[in-house]
Amino acid sequence: MDAAEEIRRFQDFFESNSKTQIAEASLKGEKFIVVDFTLLSKFDPSLAEHLLDEPEEAIRAAEISLESFDTEIKNFRVRFRNLPLSQKIMIREVRSAHLNKFLFIAGLVRQKSDVRPQVTIAKFECPSCGNVISVTQTETKFKEPFRCGCGRKGKFRLIGKELVDVQGIVLEEIPEELEGGEQPKRINILLRDDLVSPMSDKKTNPGTKICVNGVLKEVPIPSKDGGQLTKFELVVDCNFIDGLEEEFGEVKISSEEKAQIMELSKDTKLFQKVVNSIAPSIYGHDRIKEALFLQLLGGVRKKRDSGVFSRGDIHVLLIGDPGAGKSQLLRRISAVAPKSKMVSGKGASAAGLTASVVKDEFLSGWALEAGALVLANRGICIIDELDKMSVDDRNAMHEALEQQTVSVSKANIQATLRSETTVLAAANPKLGRFDPEEIISKQINLPNTLLNRFDLIFPIKDLPNPENDEKMTSFILNLHQDTEREKDVEIPTTLLRKYIAFAKQTSFPKLTESALEEIKDYYLKMRSSGYSEDSRYVSVPISARQLEALVRLSEAAAKARLADKVTKKDAKRAIDIVNYCLNQIGIDPETGKMDIDRISVGISTSQRNRIHVVKDAITELEKKIGKVIPIEDVVKSSIEMGLDASEVEDIIENLRRSGDIFEPKRGFLQKI
């Protein structure tokens, strides 16, 4: 096709389809217009075909044709969207035959470099005759004119250059589109001009799923001796970026679906319907399913006047016996959540969870690569087998769970990334099965500081029960017999996803006085239950962390109804869940009282009391006998204070291990 003819055809197309759009863009000061490819193919199929085969020529012709329109802005860009499916290609399928073709690639942004200026046109002046020569810069190396019209060679004076903003991103294949053991492949994408503006910058943040329309180009790789290698690097020169549905704010809800959502929110049996639909293939665990629904909705994130944020995300930990359906429950939640990332503890490292600094080969320098907790920002991160992670890797989660940020300070990059992520984790007990008598922190290989950051901890026990076992057996066998059964759920998965997204977008409930009073009464009642006059060390039944959890759960319960106020009923629902959770794991079997120290500290108050009795006995004997004390005397003195001989021996052994006492000679002990 002749160039002049091509320009004329594009002029006709813009005249009939995009006149108002060009005028609006000109008024707003935008330097680009977005053209729907389907409109172009309807208007002129041969022109559309030429665009796909010779994209650089066609796009240049389209941009030149815009100059005939009366716009104040020069260098108008044309962006094409809605390319045909025939142009869609996976990163792993890109070959040299696709070079200089118009393609579209979907993927996940893994890395993003800084924005840097790039020269497009450089102007030189000839010192001999004063002639001005313009040189278009298309290569990676800066090009100077070879000779002037007057015959002069070399040494031209640079008098001006046109610059555009350039940014490099690394696009990785979407994990859902891969087969079993395939490793996701990557490709470099080059963004220029308006594609790196602050408005489009959010679309290309690490972790977002995007669809890139662009021209595949080869870039020469320089060799170490200054020459050029025969091998080339591939780069997609981006023309248009479209965000794929990823964040809950991007979930598209039709007016029909909105009507369904509003009707469902008014349903009195809403919670029961959600519980039945959230994981239909798992029998029972209704309280846990209800808590997971509230977790997906989350509380309200608040900003104080001082600039400090208080988190609205509810973190949940499931600890349970093997085969209790934890992993299946986690997978189901990842399917229901509008934005989720799932990782397994064994295959997760600190860098993979938080963030890492990697060498940027594309635009040179260092680039920040986001981990799972950052990629799931404003979504949910699901961590299976949390107890299998190494100690250092687990420690990296502390900041992300409470402060909701991830700080990186490596290779001259000091960055604080946002990690407003809800965490749902699952862990197995150390000895295989859950022991209801033993302290929870002793049963799982997790530090108390990390356990303390979870709002709700649910033990999933697999205890033999004839009546329950029969129901569960029938349920599982029927599920295997009838594979279509899951289709009959009360709320379909797509509607449930959209319900959660809509609630998170529109509902920000505030606490009412009645809800506040309800939470306050429960909290104070629980606190006072731990006090007793005869005990020297009072047990702490509930702490301020649980108080905050109650507020978040109450807000989530109000969000479930799409309400703008948290009522007494919502507060009661939150209290029921927290109470159920504490009754499962927080009761001291010796005293029968609630004791939050079993979770947060790892030693119950009654155990601490016994340790202090033995310590007091050692101190008293030290005053009477001297520094070296016979163990027999310590045991005798402790028995008089109401302890058992075996208990005293265990406590002495633990004190010896912790370094409080030592044995100078056999049968004697001494304080350190």
Does 594 have pLDDT greater than 60? no
Q: What is the chain's alpha carbon radius of gyration, rounded to the nearest angstrom? A: 33
Does 520 have pLDDT greater than 70? yes
CB burial of residue 512 (10 Å; 0-12, 13-18, 19+):
middle
* CA–CA separation, 427 and 446 (whole Å): 9
Task: Report CA torsion sign: 479, 484, 488, 494.
Answer: positive
For residues 99 and 83, the answer to whether their CB atoms sit within 8 Å is no
What percent of the chain has a predicted confidence (pLDDT) above 90? 0
Tokens of 472: 């569960």
- pLDDT value for 159: 83
CA dihedral 36, 38, 42, 46 (to 10 degrees): 90
pLDDT tens digits, 46-100? 888 888 888 888 888 888 887 777 666 567 788 888 888 888 888 888 888 888 8
C-beta contacts of 438-447 below 8 A and 24+ residues apart: 439/598, 439/602, 439/603, 439/604, 440/319, 440/585, 440/598, 440/599, 441/598, 441/599, 441/601, 441/602, 442/602, 443/319, 444/319, 444/387, 445/387, 446/386, 446/387, 446/394, 447/391, 447/394, 447/395
**Contacts of 579 by beta carbon, 8 Å cutoff, 6+ apart:** 522
The one-letter amino acid code at 61 reads: A
Mean predicted confidence (pLDDT) in 494-498? 81
Find residue 415's DSSP bridge partners. 408
Find residue 310's DSSP bridge partners. 302
186-192 and 228-243: which strand pairing?
parallel
- pLDDT value for 365: 64
Q: How far is CA 128 from the centre of its chain?
A: 62
Nearest to 238 by CA among 74, 380, 393, 55: 55
> Domain limits of the chain?
3-82, 86-244, 255-506, 605-671
* CA–CA separation, 559 and 551 (whole Å): 12
- What CATH fold (topology level) applies to the domain 255-506? Rossmann fold (3.40.50)
Find residue 118's DSSP bridge partners. 164
What percent of the chain has a predicted confidence (pLDDT) above 70? 81
* CA–CA separation, 12 and 15 (whole Å): 5
- pLDDT value for 537: 46
Find residue 187's DSSP bridge partners. 171
Q: Band of the pLDDT at 603, cuts 50, 70, 90?
A: low
* CA–CA separation, 587 and 624 (whole Å): 39
- pLDDT value for 247: 54
Architecture of domain 3-82: 2-Layer Sandwich (3.30)
Mean predicted confidence (pLDDT) in 240-251? 65
Residue of 525 and 531 predicted with greater confidence:
525
* CA–CA separation, 113 and 360 (whole Å): 8
pLDDT tens digits, 371-422? 778 777 778 888 888 777 777 777 778 777 878 788 777 766 777 777 788 8
Q: Is-same-fold flag (3-82; 86-244)? A: no
* CA–CA separation, 523 and 582 (whole Å): 13
Task: Report CA torsion sign: 183, 326, 570, 517.
Answer: negative
Residue of 554 and 539 predicted with greater confidence:
554
Does 535 have pLDDT greater than 70? no
Mean predicted confidence (pLDDT) in 147-164? 78
Q: Band of the pLDDT at 506, cuts 50, 70, 90?
A: confident
Tokens of 357: 């600094």
For residues 206 and 375, the answer to whether their CB atoms sit within 8 Å is yes
Mean predicted confidence (pLDDT) in 213-231? 77
- pLDDT value for 400: 78
**Secondary structure (DSSP) of 466-522:** HHHHHHHHHHHHHHHH-GGGGGG-SS-HHHHHHHHHHHHHH---EE-HHHHHHHHHH
Residue of 266 and 448 predicted with greater confidence:
266
First to last CA, the chain: 93
- pLDDT value for 481: 65
**Contacts of 620 by beta carbon, 8 Å cutoff, 6+ apart:** 637
- pLDDT value for 467: 65
Q: Band of the pLDDT at 167, cuts 50, 70, 90?
A: confident
pLDDT tens digits, 571-591? 888 888 888 887 776 555 455
* CA–CA separation, 97 and 83 (whole Å): 19
For residues 441 and 457, the answer to whether their CB atoms sit within 8 Å is no
Nearest to 582 by CA among 553, 546, 552: 546
Mean pLDDT in the chain? Answer: 76
| Phi, psi dihedrals of residue 65, rounded to the nearest 5° | -65, -25
For residues 384 and 330, the answer to whether their CB atoms sit within 8 Å is yes
The one-letter amino acid code at 58 reads: A
pLDDT tens digits, 310-341? 778 888 888 877 777 777 788 888 877 877 77
Residue of 671 and 571 predicted with greater confidence:
571
* CA–CA separation, 456 and 299 (whole Å): 14
Give the angle subtended at the CA of 65 by the CAs of 62 and 70, to the nearest 5°. 130
Architecture of domain 605-671: Orthogonal Bundle (1.10)
Lowest mean pLDDT among 24-33, 245-254, 631-640, 643-652: 245-254
Task: Pick 86-244's CATH classification: 3.40.50.300, 2.40.10.10, 2.40.50.140, 3.40.50.2000.
Answer: 2.40.50.140
pLDDT tens digits, 627-662? 888 878 888 887 777 777 777 777 788 788 777 787
- pLDDT value for 618: 80
- pLDDT value for 354: 77
Angle formed by the axes of helices 645-658 and 631-640, nearest 10°: 130
Give the predicted TM-score (pTM) of the model: 0.68
Q: Band of the pLDDT at 9, cuts 50, 70, 90?
A: confident
